Amino acid sequence: MKEVATFHLEIERFIRAPREKVFAAFTDASMLQAWCCPRGLTVAEASADAKVGGAYRIVMARRDGSRFVVAGEYQAIEAPGFIAYTWRGEGGPAAGSTTLIEVRLTPKDGGVALHMRHTGFPDAAARESHRQGWRSCFNRLSDLVDPEGSAGTLTLFGDPRSSYCWTVRLGLAEKGIKYRLEPNRPRTPEQRAIHPFGMVPALRDGENEIYETRAILGYIDEAFEGPSLIPPAGVTARARNEQWISVINCYAYDAMVRRYLFQHMAAKGEPPLVVELAAEARRGQPVDKVVAAALRDIDAQLNLFEQAYDGGDYLTGPSPSMADLFLAPLIFYLSQLPESMELLRKYPAIRRGHEAMRARPSFAATLPYAA
C-alpha cells in the first residue's frame, strides 16, 4: 500500500519486555484484546489471522455502550522485529479511509525500542486524534507486558505528607492501580518540571501529564478499571460530591491546613517550606490570633460535614467517593492536635466516617508515615 496523503505520525516508545512478547502483542488476538484501545475503553472483540494477507478486526467499546471498529490486513510480518498492517476505521476520525501502520522493534537496554509510523491520514485533525489514541494504547501495552505492570508507566510526583498527594494515593489504592511515587516537594525545580506552579501532586502516564488533584482523580477514574470514585446514585449525589470537593479546596484547606496545621508545624521550625507557607497565611498577624480564627472557621466547616453524613459512613452514598478521599487526610491531621481533637469530639458522624475510612485497606497502604 502506498501513502495516500502527506499527513502521518511517528511515535517512539521504550517498552520493558522481551521483543518476542511485544511482537506477539500485535499478532495474538487475546493480547490485542488486552491492550489495543485507549485508556477508558475496552476491546469487546478481537480477531487476528497473523499472516501476510490475513485479516484482523478490533471492536472497541466505551462505558456508555457505544462501539467502533477498526480492521485491516497484515502487509508484512518479520518476527520479531517488524510488522506492517493496514488500518481502517468504521466511525470516528478518518472513518472510511485506509491508512498504513509500520512497527519496528529494536532491542535496547533490556527491553524494546518501539517505533511506529502511521501514514495516509486525510487531514491533520485525524492524525492528531490518532496520535493521542496511540500514546494511550501504548500505555496499556506497557501495562500488559512490563513486569511492573502500570507502575512501569504511571508515576505520581509529590510529597506523600501532602493531604492532596494522599488523596490521589487513596484513589489509586481504591482502584487497585499500581504506580511509582516520586517524592518531590512543592516549589522545587523537579516539581515545576511537571506542574507549572510547582504544587503537588502531578501525574505522568507515559507521555500524558495531568496536574491538580481533582483532575488527576477524574483521569484515573475514567482511564482505569476498578470501583468508581463517582457516586453512582444519581445526579444529586454526583453534584454533592463536587460540592464537598469545592468546599474543601476553597475553604476547608485554607482554615485546616494553611492557617492551623501549618502554624503548629512552623512553631517547630521545620520543614522550611512549611515555615514559609505558614508566614504567607498569617500575613503579618500574630500566630495565636490566626489560629483562633482558623479554629472558629474549622468548627463551622466541621458542622457542615457532620450534617452531610446523614446517618451513613460516607459523604455521598454507601461507598467512598472522591469527596471522602479529599476529607480523610484533613480529618486525620486534625485528630493529631489537641485543639482540633477537642473540636472533633463534638461531631460523632465525622468520627464514624473517619473510622470507616481508616478501616479501609487503602488508608493503611497510603499512610504517609509508612511511605
Q: Residue 202: phi, psi to the nearest 5?
A: -140, 155
The CATH architecture annotation of domain 151-223 reads 3-Layer(aba) Sandwich (3.40)
DSSP secondary structure of 123-139:
SHHHHHHHHHHHHHHHH
Neighbouring-strand partners of residue 86: 100
- CA dist list (Å): 19 to 22, 23, 201, 348: 5, 6, 34, 57
Cα separation, 202 vs 253, whole angstroms: 18
Whole-angstrom distance, CA of residue 46 vs CA of residue 202: 34
Contact between 316 and 234 (Cβ < 8 Å):
no
Residue-by-residue pLDDT tens, the chain, 371 positions: 444 446 899 999 999 999 999 999 999 999 999 999 999 999 999 999 999 999 999 999 998 889 999 999 999 999 999 999 999 988 655 567 899 999 999 999 999 999 999 999 988 988 999 999 999 999 999 999 999 999 999 999 999 999 999 999 999 999 999 999 999 999 999 999 999 999 999 999 999 999 999 999 999 999 999 999 999 878 999 999 999 999 999 999 999 999 999 999 998 877 888 999 999 999 999 999 999 999 999 999 999 999 999 999 999 999 999 999 999 999 999 999 999 999 999 999 999 999 999 999 999 999 997 54
Instruction: Find, among 249, 258, 247, 235, the residue nearest to 317 by Cα.
Output: 235
Write the CA distances from 29 to 26, 164, 174, 296, integer angstroms: 8, 40, 30, 61
227 Cβ contact list (under 8 Å, min separation 6):
174, 175, 319
Give bridge partners of residue 118 from the DSSP assignment: 9, 101
235-370 CATH choice from 3.40.190.10, 3.40.30.10, 3.30.43.10, 1.20.1050.10: 1.20.1050.10
Q: Where are the domains of the chain?
A: 7-147, 151-223, 235-370
CB 296 within 8 A of CB 331: no
Full strand arrangement of the beta sheet holding 111-121: 7-15, 111-121, 98-108, 82-90, 67-78, 55-61, 42-48
Q: Which residue blocks in 107-182 are alpha helix, DSSP H?
A: 124-145, 163-175
Cell of 319: 461507598
Q: Domain 7-147 adopts which CATH fold?
A: Alpha-D-Glucose-1,6-Bisphosphate; Chain A, domain 4 (3.30.530)
Q: Residue 307, Cβ neighbours under 10 Å: how many?
A: 9
> pTM surpassing 0.75?
yes
360/90 Cα distance (integer angstroms): 44
